[in-house]
Chain A
């Protein structure tokens, strides 16, 4: 079936080229049939790439090792669950996933606007097909997912052990959905500029896709952070890794856009700013995709291989140059229709919020690309680490959280000082009370954390006040019971109150970040069986070692040949808190030169952490057992000399039993982090708020509201 896949790719490219041509022709001449044909080319692209993706997916599930990508990233022993996701663990498969998701989201967007903005949509179609054609061309000329080898190997290399975790299954599709959704507002912005229709129509048509991009990117980023924390052996959730940063940057500019688009919708202002934000977000999404595939930066995420760098640089260059040209050449029609009515207004707060978000993005951009720029200018590679990022991002994050609490209590257009003073009482009291309690608890030695807790309290106070007053107003109008009033309030004002819930989630998330990073206790210690150590207020005792060999005991489907670990007893104040089971998996290197036994455990060693999580703290631990002792190495060496290949596992079993009988001291890493769970809870709240904000109002409700509003508009003017 590789032949079918190989036919799909050039067919897809032809469809893209055709679609670009007819869309542009339709846009220039106004001929509807050509624009429609171009839109249908996007549908056809989605169909073709669905078939292509299905071919590759089936190849993985059937262990068809004739496909190079299947042989390189899967094996017969890889569980079905991971085999299905292994499709996107390779450069080739991930390119196909990217193109496929792009075609699906593009089809949906164009279907929804098929009867509106045809001139803008035609240009947008051409842009989206341009992106699709680019990725298809990469697969045809650089990295084909359907390259085969004959004769096919009997077994594959297997999935990278670091990717054998459930969160890794869904993290790439979420992230790629976010990236591809970012291209839709970009395409419509380009379409609006080319068609010289820069009113708010294109923003309204693509707002939900911008929001969806923001949601998916956010979920993808959080899933990645969760994977890093709960699966990797360093105990952190964010390391300012280049690829982490690459996904965060479009999320930041996307956040800025979601706020400032409201100003353009209401007041016809910030048109240049919004267009620039959308173009920047889409370009940053492409740059993020470029980073993992070009080999220019070191990262755990990198696919490696420098061959894709040049095409991506060309595409990014075209995007940047084209964006600048379009904005500059259309600047006259992008003039604001109104000015700010007052400095004390929600518009001003949104503007300040935008500046902070863009500043954050700039700082991260500089820190991420600095190594590349430095190497290009001086020839010496340089890098910036977490301390550099923290120095600039922490103060900006504080301002951001504070603004997210101020915005909701300020009115649109103008607010009086007296009103503002009254509305700030509750939020300020919340912050003050929090400050007093925390100072009394001795938190003063961490000023940034203290400031973040107070800002978060301010946000929670202001949002709570909004819900309370809104529900009270609703009850006064409709006579509903309080819970029903809150529900009705949110249903009638989804964007506003969904946004408020997102702000609460962000505040909660940052409380988790501040607490876990400022008040963490970490200890690295070598322990023998029976020994204990202290981590903050906790005592950890190494009870006994554990060892297991596959395939018998590989319940977690780690795929490791040998898994060595420990049972740890965690107590506090003499009371048992938890029992932890960290381990390290030793994998087959596939190198016969390491010997019959040596190769079975000579590959990557992957830490399997153990954690006891709770709402107040997480106790986290990792182990690095020592199997290089003379006694254990003697087993390996004797096995290499005397055992045939098929009996190598016998020696592994003997090694495991020897380790259990007389375990050498092992290196442990213990971390107690307060409030980590609130990061994930905050993320869920953000996600829930985002869903509420993006959910469409039922059309029947829209019609009723429209009719009532029309009558009231006329009545109000007659009265005036």
Chain B
């Protein structure tokens, strides 16, 4: 039983080492191949992060627009209040969409907005 435990422990150790070291080994391979290290400070990565953030903002804004419409249809908002809120939300949504488009234009054009 002790031998079995030792064998299993060794297998576990190897698997753990392979798992946690894989990104470091891959980075080392890239370095040896002459590629620059991948950094979160790279403009491309920062643009990707920013795109992700804007996409989340966009989804949330669309949800707000739908919520406002549902509030109108269920009688919680007057038409005047709804028009004012809806215009503001759509303007905010378009601002976000414009930011995403500018980001896409500055980076890879194949990336989906």
Contact = CB atoms under 8 A, between A and B. Distances in A.
Interface of A: 1-4, 7-8, 11, 15, 18-19, 29-37, 40-41, 43-44, 47-48, 51, 115-119, 199-201, 204, 265-266, 409-416, 418-419, 422-423, 466, 469-470, 473, 476-477, 492-493, 496, 702, 705-706, 709-710, 712-714, 716-717, 720
A51 B8 CA distance: 10
A107 B70 CA distance: 37
Contacts of B58: 706
A416 B78 contact: yes
A716 B87 contact: yes
23 contacts: A1-B1, A7-B9, A8-B9, A8-B12, A31-B38, A33-B23, A33-B26, A44-B15, A44-B20, A47-B15, A119-B40, A201-B53, A412-B67, A413-B85, A469-B74, A473-B74, A496-B70, A702-B59, A709-B65, A709-B66, A714-B94, A716-B86, A717-B94
A616 to B, nearest CB: 34
| Interface of chain A, main secondary structure | helix
B38 A32 contact: yes
A423 B6 contact: no
A43 to B, nearest CB: 6
B45 to A, nearest CB: 7
A410 B57 CA distance: 24
Contacts of B16: 11, 15, 44, 47-48
B24 interface: yes
A11 B70 contact: no
| Leading 3 A-B pairs by shortest Cβ distance | A473-B73, A33-B27, A30-B40
A709 B23 CA distance: 39
A336 B42 CA distance: 30
Given A47-B12, A423-B75, A31 B86 contact: no
B81 A414 contact: yes
A416 B20 contact: no
Greatest chain A CB density within 10 A among B2, B49, B87 is at B49
B75 A469 contact: yes
Nearest to B31: A33
B61 to A, nearest CB: 8
Given A43-B19, A200-B60, A201-B53, A33 B24 contact: yes
A7 B73 contact: no
B27 to A, nearest CB: 4
Nearest to B25: A33
Greatest chain A CB density within 10 A among B4, B20, B39, B64 is at B20
Interface of B: 1-2, 4-6, 8-9, 12-13, 15-16, 19-24, 26-27, 37-42, 45, 49, 52-53, 56-60, 62, 64-68, 70-71, 73-78, 81, 85-87, 90-91, 93-94, 97
A37 B17 CA distance: 10
Greatest chain A CB density within 10 A among B4, B23, B42 is at B23
B86 A118 contact: no
Contacts of A266: 60, 64
B75 A419 contact: yes
B37 A31 contact: yes
Contacts of B57: 200
Contacts of A470: 70, 73-74
A8 B5 CA distance: 11
Given A1-B1, A7-B5, A422 B15 contact: no
Contacts of B62: 705-706, 709-710
Contacts of B68: 411-412
A30 B39 contact: yes
Nearest to B4: A1
Contact of B52 (A29, A30, A115, A713): A115
Contacts of A18: 20
Greatest chain A CB density within 10 A among B16, B21, B64 is at B16
A47 B20 CA distance: 12
Given A411-B76, A493-B70, A36 B81 contact: no
Contact of B60 (A34, A40, A265, A415): A265
Nearest to A199: B53
Contacts of B74: 466, 469-470, 473
A2 B12 CA distance: 15
Given A18-B20, A37-B21, A713-B90, A30 B64 contact: no
A596 to B, nearest CB: 38
Contact of B9 (A4, A40, A201, A411): A4
B24 A3 contact: no
Contacts of B86: 716
A204 B60 CA distance: 9
B84 to A, nearest CB: 9
A41 B2 contact: no
A473 B23 CA distance: 52
A409 B2 contact: no
A660 B85 CA distance: 78
Given A33-B38, A414-B85, A705-B66, 11 more contacts: A31-B27, A31-B40, A47-B19, A409-B76, A413-B85, A419-B75, A469-B73, A470-B74, A702-B59, A713-B94, A717-B94
Nearest to B17: A44
A30 B78 contact: no
B90 to A, nearest CB: 4
A493 B64 CA distance: 11
A432 B4 CA distance: 73
Contacts of B70: 470, 473, 493, 496
Contacts of A30: 39-42
B65 to A, nearest CB: 6
Contacts of B37: 31, 33
A473 B76 CA distance: 13
B19 A40 contact: yes
A702 B49 CA distance: 20
Contacts of B39: 29-32
Contacts of B73: 469-470, 473, 476-477
Given A8-B12, A411-B71, A709-B93, A34 B24 contact: yes
A289 to B, nearest CB: 26
Nearest to B7: A4
A204 B42 CA distance: 24
Contact of B76 (A1, A415, A702, A710): A415
A285 B60 CA distance: 29
Nearest to A705: B62
Given A3-B6, A4-B8, A47-B15, A41 B78 contact: no
A409 B75 CA distance: 9
Nearest to B48: A115
B5 A1 contact: yes
A466 B59 CA distance: 24
B77 A411 contact: yes
Contact of B75 (A34, A413, A422, A716): A422
B106 to A, nearest CB: 19
A158 B27 CA distance: 53
